[in-house]
Amino acid sequence: MVPPEPLTGSSVTRKGIRGDRPRLRGETPTKPVPSTKKRVLFVCVGNSCRSQMAEAFARAYGADVLEVKSAGISPATIVAPLTKQILAERNLNIDDQFPKALEVIHEPFDVVVNMSGYPLTVPNARELTWVVPDPMGQKEDVYRAVANQIEDLVMRLILEVRTKV
């Protein structure tokens, strides 16, 4: 193949060979595209069991429509080992997760899911209260039952968000 002759003319030197036509792979966006995902915060007492489970389920099943975080009113020092075990049985790995304080509440959220049992007010956020028992200190079967309940509630939330988009 023979390379083309160099082109001359003001339109070629200013705009290149393609002129005003877009790049073949599409234009590179100059501005970031705003996210259409709903920002959700899951809150429980220690951010060691329930809110960690909810965050894991929401990340796994609703990453297309949700940006999620979790926090605790009085954060524990570690994520409960049974929380990790029960989620691992469902192929959800939360080894990188750790309990976080409620300070993230200063970030903007569309939805705040409160499982703590304590009143919580977050400006400009839709607040949901989920009555889910705290499995901390309980046996595996209690953790499994709580995980099942939370998974169901998270799936309902995801479906609701998807139908409104």
Residue spans of the domains in the chain: they are 38-164
- Please list the pLDDT of the chain residue by residue as tens digits (165 residues): 565 565 555 545 555 665 666 666 655 555 555 568 999 999 999 999 999 999 999 999 999 999 999 999 999 999 999 999 999 999 999 999 999 998 877 789 999 999 999 999 888 999 999 999 999 999 999 999 999 999 999 999 999 999 986
Domain 38-164: top CATH class: alpha beta
The SS3 of residue 140 is helix
Q: The tokens of 76 are what?
A: 């524990």
Q: What are phi and psi of 162, to 5 degrees?
A: -65, -35
In order of 12, 101, 103, 113, 120, the CA distances from 72 in angstroms are 60, 5, 9, 12, 11
pLDDT at 107: 84
**How far is Cα 18 from Cα 62, in angstroms, rounded to an integer?**
41
